[in-house]
Structure 1
């Protein structure tokens, strides 16, 4: 009986996270509605507050899950930063909500003092991997490890962060070409 209840509870929690991902990606934290999330998850508002404490807590859980999934799917390879950036690009193409959630996070959570452990740990691990590659002479040290990682991360998300007017000037998206631009840009960045 207890195993069935735990399985049902976990299934409810997963449905809420899936529905919340869609809602937050579309509307941000302020615009998201717990009623819509609950309805899309075939649950109720009380369950949201039970599992996550608040709408902000639910957003943090969504963002945490998204970050963990990205770290697991696209581990850093400091010896191949161009390939790492291209794989991040692929991940963003497959999961377009990632960049939308990151944008909402920057807009609505900056300055609140909220720092998600998964993001801090992931950034720390990536910075150390880049720094180790710099110490080993694999990567140039003209930029600090933090700066180099930041540039790589931003280049990997370059295409998904453009405004519609810039997208219109580019014409139809050639995903393979865009991926290659990311890879080549990072290769040029680290080419001594």
Structure 2
């Protein structure tokens, strides 16, 4: 289970990195993600079901992480300046 979670994180990071290049979301292919994450396409489909599922999970993870960072920043109770 731990290895599977690590592999899933690697795939998400690879897709995120590809989406943040000149190719954008539209240019991301399962082949490119598989190559970047050094996994087979079958592994990506196993975890995410489809390209749309992968992209949804990338955005969902990004927004969740952003929210957690915002909560931590607010909890520091720093002055606005």
- State the TM bucket, normalised to the shorter chain: 0.7 to 0.9
Q: For residues 63-105 of structure 1, give each alpha carbon's deviation from its aligned partner in whole angstroms, at most 9, with x where no partner exists.
A: 111111110011285xx8x93xxxxxxxxxxxxxxxxxxxxxx
Q: Aligned-residue CA RMSD in angstroms?
A: 2.0
Query: Which TM-score applies when normalising by structure 2?
Result: 0.81
On the 8 A contact 1:17/1:61 being kept in 2, the answer is: yes
- Which of structures 1 and 2 has the bigger CA Rg? 1
Relative contact order (alpha carbons < 8 A, sep ≥ 6): 1 or 2 greater? Answer: 2
Matched residue pairs, number? 76
Distance 1:40 1:23 in 2: 8
Shift of 1:56: 1.1
Query: Which TM-score applies when normalising by structure 1?
Result: 0.36
What residue is the counterpart of 2:49 in the other structure?
53
Long gaps (5+) in structure 2: none
What residue is the counterpart of 1:10 in the other structure?
5
- Which consecutive aligned stretches of 4+ in structure 1 deviate over 6 angstroms post-superposition? none
